């Protein structure tokens, strides 16, 4: 199935910190309720990595088959596009990754709920299947939702709401309304990363029929949309601080928004899509930093 380096490239490890952010924030919220278990935390992280790698393999495959990954594309070359992994091998890789991811998800669900909570097991098993479906159908197939302007919604739901609230529920078996605020914030920041990707690739996507939100609204409106995403994420976390009565010392995790504000200025003055490529890493790592600092804050001031 190809050499190790090729598969590491296809796995796109640089995307993993962003996907882990929701699990870390959800675990922090559970810690506020006095619930934290290291085995659940580790398995949740591993399961999320599995889902993300499956998504990356499928994205590489879907865009490669459709011809969206080509010489016009900005950013790192994809495995199928560059020919380092064949179509059949990548398809087998998606199947193997799916099986491994679901096996870890089942272990996580059983560890969290035990045999006595069959309803919860069934619900989370279905959510796991939906996560795999969403990971694959983003670019694969004739009705891929990533080609119909629906990617933003699915990223918000799965990386934000499900990632944060689902991981919190694994510990607490309960949810509260205030947790929607940090979950929404993480979801919006994950959408911002996707939006940057779509801003960068708007010319290529439009040329090859990939209808993203940016293709629909245009580059200038897409930058304003990006501003809205990050500003709303900031407001959500700030509202959570007020709602939960965090003092200024507890709120140091908000410092992670400083590089995001600097980033916004860069985006708003940029006129050439290619110049946005370095900004992807900044938003992804700032989101991961926010999650880690929030986790530290919660566990220091419990």
Write the pLDDT tens digit of every residue in 62-112. Answer: 777 766 655 555 556 666 767 788 888 888 999 999 999 999 999 999 999
Contact 48, 108 (CB under 8 A): no
Q: In angstroms, rounded to a whole number, what is the distance separating the alpha carbons of residues 98 and 188?
A: 26
Provide the pLDDT confidence category of residue 1 given band limits of 50, 70 and 90. very low
Q: How many structural domains are present in the chain? A: 1
CB 30 within 8 A of CB 172: yes
**Domain boundaries, position 217:** 4-300
Helical H segments across the chain, by residue range = 4-11, 16-32, 38-66, 79-82, 87-113, 118-137, 151-155, 167-172, 180-200, 202-207, 213-217, 219-243, 257-269, 277-300
- Spatial distance between the Cα atoms of 90 and 10, rounded to a whole number of angstroms: 9
Convert the pLDDT of each residue in 176-231 to its tens digit: 999 999 999 999 999 999 999 999 989 888 887 888 999 999 999 999 999 999 99
């Amino acid at each position: 199935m190809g050499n190790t380096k090729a598969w590491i490239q296809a796995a796109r490890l640089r995307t993993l910190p962003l996907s882990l952010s929701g699990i870390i924030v959800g675990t922090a919220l559970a810690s506020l309720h006095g619930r934290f278990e290291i085995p659940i935390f580790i398995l949740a992280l591993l399961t999320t990595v599995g889902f993300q790698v499956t998504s990356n393999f499928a994205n590489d495959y879907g865009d490669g088959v459709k011809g969206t990954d080509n010489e016009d594309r900005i950013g790192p070359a994809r495995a199928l596009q560059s020919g380092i992994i064949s179509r059949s091998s990548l398809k087998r890789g998606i199947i193997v990754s799916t099986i491994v991811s679901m096996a870890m998800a089942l272990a996580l669900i059983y560890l969290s709920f035990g045999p006595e909570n069959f309803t919860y097991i069934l619900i989370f098993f279905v959510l796991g299947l939906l996560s795999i479906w969403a990971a694959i159908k983003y670019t694969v197939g004739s009705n891929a939702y990533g080609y119909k302007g629906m990617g933003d919604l699915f990223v918000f739901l799965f990386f934000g709401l499900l990632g944060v609230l689902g991981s919190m529920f694994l510990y607490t078996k309960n949810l509260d309304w205030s947790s929607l605020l940090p979950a929404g914030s993480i979801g919006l920041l994950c959408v911002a990363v996707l939006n940057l990707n779509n801003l960068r690739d708007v010319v290529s996507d439009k040329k090859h029929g990939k209808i993203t939100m940016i293709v629909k609204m245009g580059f200038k409106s897409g930058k304003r949309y990006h501003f809205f995403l990050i500003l709303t994420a900031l407001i959500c976390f700030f509202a959570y601080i007020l709602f939960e009565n965090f003092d200024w010392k507890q709120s140091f995790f908000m410092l992670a928004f400083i590089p995001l504000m600097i980033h916004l200025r860069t985006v708003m003055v940029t006129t050439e899509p290619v110049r946005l490529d370095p900004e992807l890493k900044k938003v992804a790592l700032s989101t991961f930093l926010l999650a880690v600092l929030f986790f530290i804050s919660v566990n220091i001031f419990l």
